[in-house]
Structure 1
């Protein structure tokens, strides 16, 4: 897989793996089996070695920062390494925690976080307390990274869906990055759903600012309780809407996926969030078929097999191995 075809989520996963190995190989209890697993990981893809080397660069840079007691002193880093501090946030967090006296400058200048968490939920909903005191519910098949910087708390929703109860701190904003956009708050309750490059933010309490990366990220569009914002790659600004009493966006917190008279084109992103391989539409006509129902989020794979029983569709396999939904054509009208 080359760099141009690698998705942002795949690149982030490699960065996290490289950060993990950078930490484990320095640990005294690192076993021979772990070192062998590291060698296999390193040999699996040339990018793995590049990413790991970038981690070592950060360790070496942090190790050579002068240990000074003079607050506010700024050290100019070489251009390549200066950008590395920002790009490899997970490794930088490790360096800061491992070298607290040597890397305080990075924290003071806002380059390095002093806290880092990687959270993942696979087959069940997870309830997690972030290091800043905020609470997170992670839906099935979801993952996020949390880093705490001097000027902001930063979350990257790697995949899936999360509900946040943010601890209020007006001087320390809480920013959630998802696909090509962000949601900025100081303390509130809201939900962020992500599938591929599509994102939907639902506000429950308080207020948030939602903006795309193409827009001015210092501003954005303010949501009030009961409002939603949706965006995807290429959008200059999010699309805003008002939720109603029958809105089902948060049904996942009870383990339910509710499809309320949606077209298959609208429903598939919600269904595919729970599948290892996405279900695809054979054509636009198939996407116009409507579906309703309440489904258990842990049993979505069964839903795929049952679709031909409840809708005028049949399943085929595409050339790439994906499952295709095809519309059953109605019999010709008798003349």
Structure 2
């Protein structure tokens, strides 16, 4: 018996996805159905791939992506574009019946938090969009994709405050000894006078990394003498339970997303995928919690989030299935 290789499995998986689309597009085509039956019987891996594809297709109906309408978005630093769905792809009838009702059901769940975020935020970015924000005090913020901030800076106020509501942001703070600059992300507050640093909201932690200068990181409201002091090339991750992890990296790697790169250093795969989701105009599903806890180290190109995802998964022998142009599923096998 011929040994089934990883390449055979990958080929069968891709072909199964193609067959799913074709059969949904032309359900009454007898010749197409006959060719499908012949393909299904040709190799044992085809049977397995088809069963898995049908299972994931059912999942797709429960996990529709809410896509942003509009034009192509750009990552300015990398100069890369993320193109919208092609007319032919968007017209594929197979996705519509199964996903329309699910999209309607999920829309209320999605729009509620999104509307609240929009109401609180002063500046917001969309998928794969970077935006530079010049603040009234002369400081500058670069917002990562799918991020939002609320700004409280006025001449008649003693302090300068920015709240990171979602995503990630890089701050270049104009020095002013009389007016400390504070960035709050959940219960974590970073205080500076003048420096360059990055703050990221993870699913279960807040990460602060310093490119230049010194920052103090503490739980909001805690005495400043209890704060963790970070200098250039240092970072701290504060988990939701209050535990913190410190480390170091090359300063030039801080907020590498500005150059279209994601650098992972012993990072949980689940956390890396969370970051990648901000660059993919759809949904990425990770089916295995144990896989999410695996660690990865490497550099990944944010201009091609699907290829980056496949590279991350490959480290631990995981598989990435593309069920639609906007749905990727990561599984252990």
TM-score normalised by length of structure 2 = 0.54
1:135 counterpart = 2:239: no
Please tell me the root mean square deviation across aligned C-alpha atoms, in Å. 3.7
2:191 is matched with which residue?
A: 184
In structure 1, the residue matched to 2:276 is 271
Q: What is the CA-CA distance between 1:315 and the residue it aligns to?
A: 4.9
Give the distance between the partners of 1:129 and 1:7, measured in 2 at CA: 28
Question: 259, 281, 284: which is aligned to 1:254?
Answer: 259
Whether the 8 Å contact between 1:282 and 1:324 is mirrored in structure 2 is no
Matched with 2:232 is 225
- CA gap of 1:124–1:219, structure 2 versus 1, over 3 A, is same
Distance of 1:118 and 1:305 partners within structure 2: 32
User: 1: CA distance between counterparts of 2:145 and 2:118?
Assistant: 21
Q: Is contact 2:286-2:331 (8 Å) kept?
A: no
In the TM superposition, residue 298 of structure 1 has moved relative to its aligned partner by 3.3
Instruction: Give the Cα–Cα distance (whole angstroms) in 1 for the partners of residues 226 and 265 of structure 2.
Output: 34
Equivalent residue for 1:201?
A: 208
Q: SS at the partner of 1:199?
A: strand
**Contact 2:191 2:215 (8 Å CA) reproduced:** yes
1:123 counterpart = 2:125: no
**TM-score (ref. length: structure 1):** 0.54
Describe the shift of the 1:265–1:244 C-alpha distance in structure 2 as closer, same or farther (beyond 3 A).
Answer: same
Equivalent position of 1:15 in the other structure: 119
- 2:164 alignment partner in structure 1: 157
Name the CA distance, whole Å, in 1 between partners of 2:205 and 2:306: 21
**Distance in 1 separating the partners of 2:272 and 2:266:** 9
Please say if residues 210 and 238 of structure 1, whose CA atoms lie closer than 8 Å, have aligned partners that are also in contact. Answer: no
Question: Is the Cα–Cα contact under 8 Å of residues 259 and 292 in structure 1 kept in the other structure?
Answer: yes
Which residue in the other structure is 1:166 paired with? Answer: 173
Higher mean C-alpha displacement, 190-199 vs 263-272: 263-272
Are positions 1:282 and 2:288 aligned together? yes
CA–CA separation in structure 2 for the residues paired with 1:120 and 1:12? 15
Match of 1:299 in 2: 304
1:240 aligns with 2:249: no
Partner SS for 1:298: coil
Give the conservation status (yes or no) of the 8 Å contact 2:211–2:251: no
Whole-angstrom CA distance in 1 between matches of 2:320 and 2:252: 30
Show CA shifts across 1:106-165 (max 9, x none): xxxxxxxxxxx4353543322221111001122222221211151211101122221111
Within 2, Cα distance between the matches of 1:121 and 1:199?
A: 21
Structure 2 segments unaligned to the other structure (5+ residues): 1-104
Using the TM superposition, give the Cα deviation of residue 263 of structure 1 relative to its aligned residue in structure 2, in angstroms.
5.2
CA distance in 1, matches of 2:201, 2:320: 26
Q: Is the 8 A contact 2:132 2:141 kept in 1?
A: yes
Q: 1:306 to 1:229 in 2, by over 3 A?
A: closer
Deviation string 1:205-232 (CA, Å, 9 cap, x unpaired) is 2211111237446852221222111113
Which runs of structure 2 are paired with 1:27-106 in the superposition (5 Å)?
A: none
Identify if the C-alpha distance between structure 1 residues 206 and 310 changes in structure 2 by more than 3 Å, giving closer, same or farther.
closer
Displacement of 1:202 after TM fit?
A: 0.7
For this pair of structures, how many residues does the alignment match?
Answer: 220
